[in-house]
A and B are shown apart, each in its own frame.
Chain A
Amino acid sequence: MTKSRCRSGRRAITTVAITLAIAVVLAACGSSSKANTSSTTAKKAALNVGSKNFGGAQILSQAYGQALAAKGYQITYKDNIGATELIYKALTNGDIDLYGEYQGTLLTYLNGTPTGDAQTTYAALQQKLPPTIVASKPAPAVDVNGFYVLKSTADKYHLTTISSLKPVAPQLVFGGPPECESRPLCLGAKEQQLYGLQFKEVKKLDPGGPITVKALDDGTIDVGLLFTGSSVIKPNYVLLQDDKGLQPADNPVAVIRKSVDTAEINSIIDKVNAALTVQEYNTLALQVQDQKLDPKDVAAAFLRSKGLA
């Protein structure tokens, strides 16, 4: 009895030990999933490119990253990090080296005052950025916060501008990104200063994505915050005019850590930005949001069509 117990005991332990060994090997193999670095002749810098958490921004970061990769830089992507509050911190921390941002939003986050003019906003941004961070020249495209209502709502309350929203706001429900109430360009300080909208209820949904769209469609909210350049805007949505100029020139810029920045990188990014017109940006965004194509592929096709990759 002892002998068979011994054998069975050993068998049990052995089987478990082998299983665990296999598991450890699997884990080790799976962990070291670094892509094989193809040895190119030029040894250029390795860069971490991050992206914000909505389609338009992801296309930007992919475009910048792939354009750089085409010139020999080793790019690693960290996608979907979050809004400016999160990703800017990641940049200053060194977790990422570069990401696609919107200059008006960033300037506001840095407590600056953007205007509706791209050049003055850019100049102001350069002043506000710490010495360790640089921003590329802005692209012509714009992607700003838009206050949208359904056509039926606009007709009912005679809404054309955001100012016309003010008297009826207390009867209406608003939906936007979770960070909206603390964002000056959304429902925060600057908006309150210019328009002073007080809604019946403010729902925290998502950054210009399907939750806000669906909420607007089914009447859960009356006014929705979507992005004019990269959200899916349905034909029956009405964009309320920003008559008091709350929204700044929110042009795409690449924000980079100065320590990795070079003249070549700047020139590559400038070329990408130069090709990003309002129309182009919009088309790209819809390809991602509407046609469900990957930002990666959309950016690649865009770069190729402009001879940048």
Chain B
Amino acid sequence: MTSLLGAGYNGSSWIDWSWVNDHTTEISTRLREHIVLALLALLYGLVIALPLAILASRKRRLLPPILSVTGVLYTIPSLAAFAFLLPFTGLSRETALIPLTAYSLLILVRNVVTGLDGVPAEVVEAARGMGYSAPRQLVQIELPLAVPAIIAGIRIAAVTLIGLVPVAALIGQGGLGAMMLDGFQRDFRTPITVAGVLVIALAVVTDAALVLVQRLATPWARRSRVAA
């Protein structure tokens, strides 16, 4: 029976490359799960954050409460956030997706507001003077100028989300985190190491890709102070 299986793998080496070779399908499945979860949370977060931020930057009174509430929520550890929802949404993808979206939202609102606030007053007035209606002004003048800050926010959100997804493995939804737990339960280091390295790699690649997007979108902003 063992001949059908092969010799097994070394549990205590940090990376057993033969395991990696044999498990490329599983690794790519987990990677894809991970990306999808982070991506969905990012998109949902953006969809909610944009109108919220536009509202906040228009009605200044709303800004401090929105920022304080989002600041406080941001502090809640992700395991706690998933755990809060568990009694209500069970061991489903929603239990992971809702808090992830919330974290993404919190980061994005702040950055979009910063971006919109950064539009010089003279530009807004010039636009008003030239007869731009409020929606046109928003879409054609303010948002484009806010793009560097928005993309900076997307960068932070994307990288943060990539780091948060593994924790959801504790409630059965974790992408690469599931690989970590599986390895751990068998006293097997390789899956954990591989998953950890991939999380970091994914974050670095995503960040670099977004920097590229930022450069493409706003070439004029290159020489001015670019968000680190």
Q: Do A and B bind each other?
A: yes
Interface residues in B29-55 (C-beta closer than 8 Å to A): 29, 32-33, 35-36, 39-40, 42-43, 46
Report yes or no: A27 in contact with B91, Cβ–Cβ below 8 A. Answer: no
Of B61-69, B74-82, B197-205, B212-220, which binds chain A? B212-220
Set of chain A residues within 8 Å of B91, measured between Cβ atoms? 81, 86, 90, 95
CB pair B144–A8 under 8 Å, yes or no, is: yes
A288–B43 contact, CB under 8 A?
A: no
Query: Do A16 and B5 contact each other (CB < 8 Å), given the known contacts A8-B220, A26-B39, A30-B39?
Result: no
Query: Do B4 and A304 have beta carbons less than 8 Å apart?
Result: yes
A54 at the interface (CB under 8 A from B): yes
Please indicate the chain A residues that have their CB under 8 angstroms from the CB of B7 in the complex: 291
Q: Is B186's CB under 8 angstroms from A288's CB?
A: yes
Closest to A15 in B: B217
A167 contacts chain B at the CB level, 8 A cutoff: no
Question: B125 contacts the other chain (Cβ, under 8 Å)?
Answer: no
Q: Is the CB of B39 within 8 A of A13?
A: no
| Residues B217 and A26 in contact, CB atoms below 8 Å apart | no
Does A287 sit at the interface, judged by CB under 8 A? Answer: yes
| Min CB gap B76→A, angstroms | 23
Closest to A9 in B: B144
Partner of A292, one of B11, B35, B90: B11
Q: How many residues of chain B have a CB within 8 Å of chain A?
A: 51
Residue A168 is within 8 A (CB to CB) of chain B in the complex: no
In the complex, the answer to whether B139 meets A13 with C-beta atoms within 8 Å is: yes
Query: Does any Cβ of A come within 8 Å of B1's Cβ?
Result: yes
Is the CB–CB distance between A289 and B147 below 8 Å? no
Q: Is B178 an interface residue (CB 8 A)?
A: yes
A216 shortest CB reach to chain B, Å: 13
B151 at the interface (CB under 8 A from A): yes
A200 to B6, CA, bound (A): 44
Report yes or no: A293 in contact with B46, Cβ–Cβ below 8 A. no
| Contact assessment for B144 and A13 in the assembled complex, using a CB-CB cutoff below 8 Å | yes
A20 within 8 A of B: yes
B10 CB to closest chain A CB, in angstroms?
A: 8
Give B130's nearest chain A residue, CB to CB: A2
The reply to whether B150 and A289 form a contact with Cβ atoms under 8 Å apart is no
Contacts of A291 in B (CB 8 A): 7-9
Residues of B in contact with A (beta carbons under 8 Å apart): 1-2, 4-11, 16, 19, 23, 29, 32-33, 35-36, 39-40, 42-43, 46, 90-91, 130, 139-141, 143-145, 147, 150-151, 172, 178, 181-182, 184-188, 190, 213, 216-220
* Known interface pairs A16-B213, A232-B187, A283-B1; 20 further A-B residue pairs with C-beta atoms within 8 A, sorted by A's residue number: A8-B218, A10-B144, A19-B213, A23-B42, A26-B36, A27-B36, A27-B39, A30-B35, A33-B29, A53-B185, A78-B172, A80-B181, A80-B182, A90-B91, A209-B187, A289-B187, A292-B10, A292-B190, A301-B4, A304-B4
